[in-house]
Structure 1
Amino acid sequence: MTAGPRIAIDAMGGDIGPAVIVAGVVAARRKDPALLFHLYGDEALINPELARHQAVAGAVTVHHTTEAITASEKPSQAIRRARGTSMGMAINAVKDDHADAALSAGNTGALMAIAKLALRTMPGIDRPALAALLPSLGDKDLVMLDLGANTECDAQNLVQFAVMGAAYARTVLDIDSPRVKLLNIGTEELKGTDELKEAAAMLREATYLPMRFDGFTEGDQLSRGEVDVVVTDGFSGNIALKTAEGTARFVTDLLRRAFTSSLRSKAGFALSKPALHMLKVHLDPNNHNGAVFLGLNGLVVKSHGSATPKGVANAIKVAASMVRNDITRKIATDLDEFRAHTFAEDAAAAAAAITAGSDPA
């Protein structure tokens, strides 16, 4: 069998640690036997978990370290001691071409800082963005970015996010020409900040890219299935994501309370159980686990800290899919085309201005 993607994993990240990570690795390889893994962390905690799953013994290499980034650690502190930590070692494995992608369920800010310093941003990208899949009423999930990596963004950042998000949707969702919208306070062209309006103007002109820019969308329309990629700054995106997750928990808790309030309600629950199971599956964050840092010279995936083995396996699946579909190359190709068109337009505008200035009339 041909060796598949090599995934470097911070085994010490997350709320529970190696037990869930190893179980997720086992679940992922059961579905994709070509995968190979490098686990970084304390051997005393990892090896006993691996001993329970002999089926993956030949596919996993453990790299020992007792140093780990804590959940409360500031990015600046994490950077200073990154090299010897499980998170830093996993990212450096990608940098040194010992792995094709890195995955961690640890501190998001530290992960972003370490990854950006080690891998650097791609040519044409000013800032990397955090992208993830969100459930919708459409046939497929939707991609949303940025979800917290950049609290403030200018128009150029938003355009770059759109290019990266569209490439991600083509890779993970298998959509040839994703529908892209900017998150705004209204759908009218006159609404929103100057940065949003400028980004929209640039995206409307980029008809040569493999995406369809459809203007603005509002927060209450995200789950309607009418968009494939939603682009926003990290501040708004993180709030939107946390609000959506909180609303999902509110709905499920409300239903649970309603169905246990009386004997009649319990009977109704029995009749509604298949539909409620479908709702639970659709809203379960483990089924959408695996946020991605786009725009780096290497692939880094962020798992929920509270992810179950199923969630970890899904994050691994996302990482493997990006490796196999060479998403970094796709982003680079689209960015090169965008820059080429922008340069040509700027040159034409400059030439026209020179010509107009030399016109005797």
Structure 2
Amino acid sequence: MSSLVRIALDVMGGDHGPEVVIPGAEIALTRHPDIRYLLFGDKARIEPLLASRPKLAAASEVFHTDVVVQMDDKPSQALRRGRRVSSMWKAIDAVHTHHADCAVSAGNTGALMAMAKVNLKTMAGIGRPAIACLWPTMRGESVVLDVGASIGATAQHLVDMAVMGAAMARIVFDIDRPSVGLLNVGVEEIKGVEEVKEAGAALREANHPGLNYHGFVEGDDIGRGVVDVVVTEGFAGNIALKTAEGTAKQFAEYLRNAINRSFLSKIGYVLARSAFRALREKLDPRKSNGGVFLGLNGVVIKSHGGTDAEGFASAVDIGYDMVRYELLSRIEKNLDSRPSVAGTPTVPPAAALPTDALQVQS
């Protein structure tokens, strides 16, 4: 691999476009001076922002595009209107043509997944890609997938996600055999739908060299950090993600109201300011911003659409790490020895649905 990490940015993606992407790229460049950017978007908006950032400008090349995928576009609409011409497509295509090592976008998740799958294709034997995110826990962080790429999963799909998630965890946490758990309604082997029980049996019997299968985990185990990797299908994963985000906001609002309730509580806040600051940093969603699309022939990172510059920089950081520590080759190596589930198709039935039917995180 080159000594440089080339990252293609969909500069027009997200709620704020270049006004967040360009400052975020600058922040990431200060942390990783060996990044070189390919910036896709409206030159008239990008170049004035680069003019005040000479170091970023020197590390970037701008490619003008007129078409922007809107945040409310359906995936099929985005493909029809933006294929081959939009900033999102061109960023992904730079990975496909090997001009970039990674693509990062804060744009429409459904469109990004659809374009990435059409352009990059899935790895051999992988029916559908999954979105993996870093989840803050009491022990640090865990990898959780799928958090919204598609609905439903066969046992084989769950096994494949376990193998891919473990490969990502090895990079992020520097663990030889990350612990993996299947999200279920209970930890007992008799509980859950058949697909989850079959996947659990296959992982247990396989004793895969790239992961340590823990067994079933429940929803409250995610935040406790019981395992390094939590595997579930996209419908449940997306609900879990949004519930956790909402609970964090609810807790922060409760805390704010309690602090402002009386003069004594305000004094207590001043005395415990360092503790509250540590709590705020722990719950800061920007630090774990960036969903990794696993199962594609290329590295694609999805940033939250409403993030700020620091949050977008975190998404770029994740993309950098996935490239620098060779995510794709690690996944391919793990897939070579993945267990097979007898009698189950590799591609889940839901994969036959139109692209617009796939439910993805916003």
In structure 1, what is the Cα distance between the partners aligned to 2:213 and 2:201?
Answer: 10
SS in 1 for 2:338: helix
Asked if structure 1 preserves the Cα contact closer than 8 Å seen for 2:291 and 2:301, the reply is: yes
Alpha-carbon displacement from aligned partner over 1:80-113 (angstroms, at most 9, x marks no partner): 1221000000000000111000000000000000
| Structure 1 position 194, deviation (Å) | 0.3
TM-score normalised by the chain length of structure 2:
0.92
Asked if structure 2 preserves the Cα contact closer than 8 Å seen for 1:11 and 1:17, the reply is: yes
Instruction: Name the structure 2 match of 1:246.
Output: 246
Name stretches of at least 5 consecutive residues in structure 1 with no aligned partner: 347-361
In structure 1, what is the Cα distance between the partners aligned to 2:215 and 2:3?
Answer: 43
Instruction: Name the structure 1 match of 2:34.
Output: 34
SS in 2 for 1:176: coil
SS in 1 for 2:226: coil
| Structure 1 position 232, deviation (Å) | 0.2
Asked if structure 2 preserves the Cα contact closer than 8 Å seen for 1:3 and 1:35, the reply is: no
Q: Counterpart amino acid of 2:317? A: K
Alpha-carbon displacement from aligned partner over 1:206-263 (angstroms, at most 9, x marks no partner): 2132111111111112111221000000000000000001111111111011101111
In structure 2, what is the Cα distance between the partners aligned to 1:304 and 1:52?
Answer: 25
In structure 1, what is the Cα distance between the partners aligned to 2:49 and 2:66?
Answer: 16
The higher-RCO structure (CA 8 Å, 6+ apart) is 2
Instruction: Name the structure 1 match of 2:91.
Output: 90
In structure 2, what is the Cα distance between the partners aligned to 1:208 and 1:314?
Answer: 31
How many equivalent pairs are there? 341
Q: Which has the larger radius of gyration?
A: 1
SS in 1 for 2:50: helix
Alpha-carbon displacement from aligned partner over 1:265-319 (angstroms, at most 9, x marks no partner): 1101111211111111111110101100000000100001111111111111110
| Structure 1 position 336, deviation (Å) | 1.0
Q: Counterpart amino acid of 2:196? A: L
SS in 2 for 1:190: coil
Instruction: Name the structure 2 match of 1:202.
Output: 202
Instruction: Name the structure 1 match of 2:319.
Output: 319
Asked if structure 2 preserves the Cα contact closer than 8 Å seen for 1:209 and 1:338, the reply is: no
Instruction: Name the structure 2 match of 1:349.
Output: none
TM-score normalised by the chain length of structure 1:
0.92
Q: CA RMSD in A?
A: 1.4
Matched, 1:275 2:270: no
User: Which structure dedicates a bigger proportion of its chain to helix?
Assistant: 1
In structure 2, what is the Cα distance between the partners aligned to 1:39 and 1:206?
Answer: 44
Residues 107-118 of structure 1 aligned to structure 2 (within 5 Å): 107-118=108-119
Instruction: Name the structure 2 match of 1:104.
Output: 105
In structure 2, what is the Cα distance between the partners aligned to 1:112 and 1:78?
Answer: 11
Instruction: Name the structure 2 match of 1:178.
Output: 178
Instruction: Name the structure 1 match of 2:297.
Output: 297
SS in 2 for 1:157: helix
Asked if structure 2 preserves the Cα contact closer than 8 Å seen for 1:121 and 1:127, the reply is: yes
Asked if structure 2 preserves the Cα contact closer than 8 Å seen for 1:3 and 1:36, the reply is: no
In structure 2, what is the Cα distance between the partners aligned to 1:258 and 1:317?
Answer: 36
Instruction: Name the structure 1 match of 2:128.
Output: 127
In structure 1, what is the Cα distance between the partners aligned to 2:92 and 2:163?
Answer: 24
SS in 1 for 2:337: helix
In structure 2, what is the Cα distance between the partners aligned to 1:255 and 1:170?
Answer: 36
Aligned-pair identity (%)? 50
